[in-house]
Amino acid sequence: MRILSQQSLEDWTTFGLPARAEHFASCASEDEVKEALAWHREQNCALHVLGGGSNVLLADDLPGLVLQMGIGGVTEVEDTDDGVLVRVGAGVGWHEFVMTSLDRGWYGLENLSLIPGSTGAGPMQNIGAYGVELEERFHGLEAVEVATGETHHFAHSDCQFGYRESVFKRALKGQYVITAVTFHLLKTPELRLQYGAIKSALKAAGVTDPTPKSVSDAVIGIRRSKLPDPSVLGNAGSFFKNPVVDEARHLALAKKFPEMPQYPTAGGIKLAAGWLIDQAGWKGHDRGTHGVHDRQALVLVNKGGATGSELLQLAEDVQQDVLKRFGVQLEREVNVLPGAQL
């Protein structure tokens, strides 16, 4: 493992923003992760872990060490009665893993097709789409403790999963580097078709007897039609989380906007941030080098030549306007490095 200096990170994140890492190590095994962490402890410098770089906004150069996760491998570790346990290296691309699982006849992740990023980053924010969240097929994970270099195992109950949440974003933030994730996948498909968009896409494709593959194809089609391809237009997917509001706020808004999308959840009513931003007139907003995507208002885009601080300014303007119009505070879903800027 080599430690590089002043490495450009432009091609390592999907926003494609200009920023450099003071030191940079790409790690292809758990031993290399431990080696890089030992170096970081010796130097007593900052540490940032980068997976697929698809959920991060680089607001500036990163001091210290950037550990790029490159551990590969997809291995069946156990045959269970109803399925298989599959261990996946944290550096395996998420979509690549979903495609491999379909090829091997392991089901349950088809609704999560085409989500960018690495498998190791998936549990951090419990990725989810079209009615399925990663935690539903999650079995456990291995992670190296930054302070000691020791490997720890986390079971489902240790991870405190929530909507785009886990213990790794909260109480244990920055304390572990995830190196492998184990999933419990099914041998018999249990299709999840409750999302209207999936039903419509299957219908449009003339599918009357859906399979995991046809659901995956439908999801891929929907995502391609709404979300920009990062290799063409820099972005980090949904920039904000969908906000959960209390009953009073919900009732006031629902009265004024009867057509407003709303989803009851355990903690309150979840609203669609994309709808609020769209309604406020930001969809397609253009600031030359950057703006709001014209087909999905929840996505901010780097059209070429934007800086991280410009994108953060746009995000703040959107947040303030939505707060003013609807009394709803939007929270960022994307991680801003280094540290919180707003």
Question: Is 326 a residue that touches ligand EPU (CB under 6 A)?
Answer: no
Q: Record the tokens describing residue 42, joined without a space.
A: 């010796």
In this complex, which beta carbon is closest to ligand EPU, that of residue 24 or of residue 97?
Answer: 97
| 104 counts as catalytic | no
**Residue position matching structure tokens 């018999």:** 188
Among candidate residues 164, 166, 214, 223, the one labeled active-site is: 164
Question: Is 261 a residue that touches ligand EPU (CB under 6 A)?
Answer: yes
Site pattern 273..302 for ligand EPU (x: CB under 6 A): -xx--x----x------------xxx----
Among 242, 285, 311, 337, the residue binding ligand EPU under the rule CB under 6 A is 242
Contacts to ligand EPU from residues 211-230, by CB under 6 A: 227
Nearest distance, CB of residue 75 and ligand EPU, angstroms: 28
Count of CA atoms in the C-beta half-sphere (13 A) of 254 = 14
| 238 counts as catalytic | yes
How far, rounded to the nearest angstrom, does the alpha carbon of residue 1 sit from its chain's CA centroid? 27
Among 139, 272, 310, 335, the residue binding ligand EPU under the rule CB under 6 A is 272
Nearest distance, CB of residue 134 and ligand EPU, angstroms: 11
How far, rounded to the nearest angstrom, does the alpha carbon of residue 115 sit from its chain's CA centroid? 7
Calculate Rg over the CA atoms of the chain.
Answer: 20
Nearest distance, CB of residue 95 and ligand EPU, angstroms: 13
| 333 counts as catalytic | yes
Residues 6+ apart with CB under 8 A from 86: 74, 75, 76, 77, 101, 106, 182, 183, 185
Say if residues 2 and 35 touch (Cβ distance below 8 Å). Answer: no
Say if residues 156 and 138 touch (Cβ distance below 8 Å). Answer: yes
Which one of 39-47, 75-83, 237-245, 307-315 is the stretch in contact with ligand EPU (CB under 6 A)? Answer: 237-245
Nearest distance, CB of residue 150 and ligand EPU, angstroms: 32
Residue 56 and residue 305: Cα distance in Å, rounded?
17
Residue 167 and residue 295: Cα distance in Å, rounded?
33
Binding residues for ligand EPU (CB under 6 A) = 129-130, 227, 237-238, 241-242, 261, 272, 274-275, 278, 283, 296-298, 333
